[in-house]
Amino acid sequence: MLRYFTAGETHGKCLTVIIEGAPAGFEVSLDKINAALSRRQRGYGRGGRMQIEKDSAEILSGVRGGVTLGSPIAMTIKNRDWENWQAVMGTEAANGERAVEFPRPGHADLAGGMKYDHHDLRNVLERASARETAARVAAGALVRQFMEPYGVELKSRVVSIGTVTDTADTAAPDLWERAAVSPVGFADAAAERAAMEYIDNIKVRGESCGGVVETVIFGLPAGLGSYAQYDRKLDARLAAAVMSVQAIKGVEIGLGFEAARRCGSEVHDEIVYDNGYRRLTNRAGGIEGGMTNGEPVVIRAAMKPIPTLYNPLHTVSVKDRREHSASVERSDVCAVPACAVVVEAAAAFEIANAFTDKFGGDCRADIDAAYHAYMERISNY
């Protein structure tokens, strides 16, 4: 079983991620991990932090000569802004400066302070911050490399930002390439311009905006996941992983909520056989009964606007309960394109988990043998 843990604060020395259960014998490219980290930092509407941080990962253990060993893999991502925060965030001594007493509506500040009895809410926001997702992106970028030899690919794009929706033809062969180079993650040029104008207007008003992102996984065989127990259903595991990403408030597979508004003939995918089983449509989003069905897996996630507003909302002090405006931390106006990269990484980890669970997780030789035997068997089903 693959699992990972992250550690670190947004203005601390570094972020750390430990991956347990990685199979031995797979080549790992640090360049691919760093490319994913770079993608996470792009996007129109990002804040000043992205001008400071140029994230890159360092692998500390579990890899030798560019090949996984089967032992836990540890990676670290240094926070370049640490030198400006050492006195505030030091592990042995901290000067108490930049204390936060005014919780932001929509953030973990107040609930976290109450839970852990913190009266300086920096102790909460430093860990609850989306800066933590850099470690998750590194983890996802690493484990997806275990599936690349078997033709599994993940692509992501932005479906909408605020009230602006990408109007690109989703069947266009260059959809993903155009979305990948867009500053807002759109594939349609006119919609891209409209989204950038929307973000500019939001910024002037001291507001923030959210949106909807989409990740599609290609090349998966039927049968990953299981209907046998609730917690082994792949769509449930994917939904939990994506929902755990900061600011995500909704997840859907395939048609998602739209399926509730249609009749059955407009929801379910008819099956044909043509040198293998396939569906004429993919409204189910590649998952039926908690298992992959051989079609691309389609996941969408709704990201709420970032809670830090430069025109802050009303709140109260956690020290004396007096009314005040919420604290303002350095933040983005729009981080939806970055969210797409994080959701892609979260999905990659769960897919890799299901993949190694199905085909064995000790070493590449075992996975190769199990994968090819399974593919031969189901081709004759």
Proportion of the chain above pLDDT 70, given as a percent: 98
Of 262, 349, 245, 352, give the one whose Cα is nearest residue 300.
Answer: 245
Taking the model in full, what pTM does it have? 0.95
**How do residues 134-191 score in pLDDT, each as one tens digit?**
999 999 999 999 999 999 999 999 999 999 999 999 999 999 999 999 999 999 999 9
**pLDDT for the residue 51:** 58
Q: With bands split at pLDDT 50, 70 and 90, how would you rate the model's confidence at 331?
A: confident
**How do residues 262-315 score in pLDDT, each as one tens digit?**
999 999 999 999 999 999 999 999 999 999 999 999 999 999 999 988 888 999
Question: In whole angstroms, what is the distance from residue 347 CA to residue 286 CA?
Answer: 14
Question: In whole angstroms, what is the distance from residue 306 CA to residue 331 CA?
Answer: 8
Of 152, 179, 163, 270, give the one whose Cα is nearest residue 211.
Answer: 163
Question: In whole angstroms, what is the distance from residue 120 CA to residue 100 CA?
Answer: 5
Of 265, 348, 335, give the one whose Cα is nearest residue 299.
Answer: 348
91-106 average pLDDT score: 93
Sign of the dihedral through C-alpha 52, 55, 61, 65: negative
**pLDDT for the residue 46:** 85
For residue 128, the enclosing domain spans: 3-379
Place of tokens 């760093």: 34
Beta bridge mates, 217: 154, 297
Domain count, the chain: 1
Q: Are strands 67-68 and 323-325 parallel, antiparallel or unpaired?
A: unpaired
Phi first, then psi, for residue 77 (nearest 5°) are: -125, 115
**pLDDT for the residue 50:** 58
Please report, for the domain that includes residue 197, its CATH number.
3.60.150.10
Q: What token pair was written down for 357?
A: 């669970």
Neighbours of 264 (CB within 10 A): 7
**How do residues 190-240 score in pLDDT, each as one tens digit?**
999 999 999 999 999 999 999 999 999 999 999 999 999 999 999 999 999
**pLDDT for the residue 308:** 85
Of 153, 111, 140, give the one whose Cα is nearest residue 33.
Answer: 140
Q: What token pair was written down for 317?
A: 């002090």
The H-assigned helical ranges of the chain are: 30-40, 49-52, 86-89, 109-116, 122-128, 133-143, 175-181, 189-204, 234-243, 336-359, 364-379
Residues sharing a CB contact under 8 Å with residue 17, sequence separation 6 or more, in sequence order: 4, 5, 6, 7, 74, 75, 76, 135, 136, 138, 139
Sign of the dihedral through C-alpha 90, 94, 100, 101: positive
